[in-house]
Structure 1
Amino acid sequence: MRFPSKKTWILLGLSIVVILISVSPLLKDGFPKNHDSELYMVWLSEFDEGIRDGQFLPRWVPNVWVGYGSPLFNFNQPLFFYLAEMFHLIGFSLVLSVKLTLILATCLAYLFMFVLSKQFFGRHAALLASSIYIMMPYHIGLMYERGAFSEYLAMAFAPLLFFVFYRLGQKISYKYFFWGSITVALLLLSHNISTLFYIPAVFLMVVLFSKKILNII
């Protein structure tokens, strides 16, 4: 049996340290005050009520707007709430469920950026790129200042989108076409507005890096 090398353990340890620094405010009691965090708690509570009523996709939020309700989940992307609801159904509180979902999104963002960066650079550069990605001000601000948790989740899948379509541009493969479709769906369910910005960038990347297209040019 082959065990991971010492360098691998060091890289793993550094990755854990960076992620812990990034999510350290979430490890305290309560929740950091920001623009929309309280709204997400309310929305998750309403989402949970819909799920427990047997709705696979809750649409109507009955207990807001002075009791008039709102069709919030007709247009508000649901993936963050599905993930948080999974933690809540296990037994975690609403606040802790949101925290765990944000920690999961941070880990995914780090992992997918590492995978993407490793396509172009070595492991050490990929480690640096992943650390910069999850610690950059805009990314941190989504979680701790704006409370834009759905957009924060979308940023976790963005590097995966670029990785899959980069590989698809290098070689047409049903496997990468399948995962590309899944990733686009995850982005749309995470934050549909962000997807509108990512798709043109991915298209440009495919044009620039696709071997077949470059040969035609």
Structure 2
Amino acid sequence: MAAIVRVLPFLLLSLYMVVPLARVDWFENHETTSYLARTVETVVCWADGDLRARWFPDFAAGFGLPYLSFYAPLTFWGGAFFHQFGADVPTALKVVIFVAALLAMSGAYRLAREATARGPALAGALLYVYSPYTVRNVYVRGDLAEYLAMAFLPWALYGLVRAARRPGVTSALIAGAGGAGAILSHNIMGMLVGLAMALTAIVVFFTTERARRKLLFPTLTMGGAAALLLSQFFWMPALAEKDWTNLSALQEGFFSASQYHLAPSEIFGLRGEPRVHTPGEAEPLGFELRFLPWLALLGLAAA
């Protein structure tokens, strides 16, 4: 009973993320119905006995496409999994959104509890799950893969921070599972989570008492290694087979990441023209958070 009482607030607070989706079969977003189609193809692969679902047989006008050979598969595996229990594909993906919100809420809470009391930790978890960027990922961009990857970030960092207090296999596995979950959810976010894990491990190591570092170092190392090992069945074949495709085109022209880097004025500016999410479309995608970054800097300075 006590466990239910502890979990219930997280369930209720996470459920609010999908309440608006209960009114519609699916919702308009930048991805339109692409997540539905990919999940359907994953279900088809599973029905044929291909649990890895690397090749979507009906894509590319029926010629097939090695979609999940190169794109992180966990979101679509999740949708296909809940579909096995009778949910239609749109509902199954809504359950994935709810599970991601629950993971993010509980992970951010556990991470914050390493440094603060329950009340502030819960407030921090709410801010993480319902921040403008994460909500926009679902309701505007429709980027469920990135949303799911961000749900694993707090767990990856929590395992590393926890290691300073309780070094050992458990902390390493928490960090490793969080890192692997991010890698298997979203390619780019997986790399960013890996970078965040590396920086966090360095900070944790050098802020821990010198006498405890010998116990801490193996745990931090195992956490990073576990993230790579648990996800290697995805990223190793993708790297080995990348030369068989035209992946290099994703680094050129419209797809080049360099043209989407934000200037400091776009982050800290109080006024500015919002960007447009794709050329020729009128919907703005503003990055200016007005006074919020300045409040964050003041809070950091005060701490």
How far apart, in 2, do the equivalents of 1:213 and 1:118 lie? Answer: 18
Number of equivalent positions: 211
User: Which residue in the other structure is 2:145 paired with?
Assistant: 150
User: CA-to-partner distance for each residue in 1:1-38, whole Å, 9 max, x for gaps?
Assistant: xx75xxx969954x455434322222212112001140
Q: Percent identity?
A: 26
For structure 2, the 5+ residue unaligned runs are 212-303
Q: Equivalents in 2 of 1:88, 1:164: separation in Å?
A: 31
TM-score by structure 1 length? 0.87
Asked if 2 retains the 8 angstrom alpha-carbon contact of 1:41 and 1:94, the reply is: yes
- The answer to whether structure 1 residue 192 and structure 2 residue 187 are counterparts is yes
Range with greater deviation from structure 2 (154-163 or 190-199): 190-199
User: Residue 54 of structure 2 aligns with which residue?
Assistant: 59
Cα distance, 1:169 vs structure 2: 4.0
Give the aligned residue type for 2:162.
R
Q: Counterpart of 1:21?
A: 16
* Alpha-carbon distance change, 10 to 76 in structure 1, aligned in 2, over 3 angstroms: closer
Aligned partner of 1:80 in structure 2 is: 75
Aligned match of 1:93 in 88, 93, 99?
88
TM-score by length of 2: 0.64
Q: In the alignment, which residue of structure 1 is the partner of 2:104?
A: 109
Asked whether the equivalents of residues 207 and 213 of structure 1 are also in contact (C-alpha less than 8 Å), the reply is: no
Structure 1 residue ranges (4+ consecutive) displaced by more than 6 angstroms after TM superposition: none
Please tell me the residue identity of whatever aligns with 2:38: W
The aligned residue for residue 63 of structure 2 is 68
Aligned runs of 1:130-149 on 2, under 5 Å?
Answer: 130-149=125-144
Counterpart of 1:104 in structure 2: which amino acid?
A: V
Aligned AA for 1:201? A
Aligned pairs (5 A) from 1:149-188? 149-188=144-183
Change beyond 3 A, Cα 1:203–1:170: farther
For residues 29 and 121 of structure 2, what CA distance do their matches in structure 1 show?
Answer: 31
Hey, what's the Cα distance between the residues in 1 that align with 2:149 and 2:196? 15
In structure 2, relative to structure 1, the CA distance for the partners of 1:128 and 1:212 (3 Å cut) is: closer
Distance 2:108 2:174 in 1: 16
In 1: Cα distance, 2:193 partner to 2:103 partner: 17
Q: Decide which structure has the larger Cα Rg and report it.
A: 2
| Secondary structure class of the residue paired with 1:210 | helix
Task: Report the secondary structure of 2:16's partner residue.
Answer: helix
Deviation of the 1:159 alpha carbon? 0.3
Q: Corresponding residue for 2:34?
A: 39
CA distance in 2, matches of 1:10, 1:169: 25
Q: Which has the higher contact order (CA 8 A, sep 6+)?
A: 1
> Alpha carbon RMSD of aligned pairs, Å?
2.4
Question: Does the 8 Å contact 2:114/2:162 carry over to 1?
Answer: no
Contact kept, 8 Å, 1:37 with 1:147, in 2: the verdict is yes
Equivalent residues of 2:107, 2:151 under 8 A apart: yes
SS in 2 for 1:90: coil
Kindly state the Cα deviation for residue 213 of structure 1 after the two structures are TM-superposed. Answer: 6.0
Deviation at 1:65, TM superposition (A): 2.3
Deviations 1:29-82 (A, max 9, x none): 211200114001001111100000001211211222222321111111111111
Between 1:119-128 and 1:181-190, the stretch displaced more is 181-190
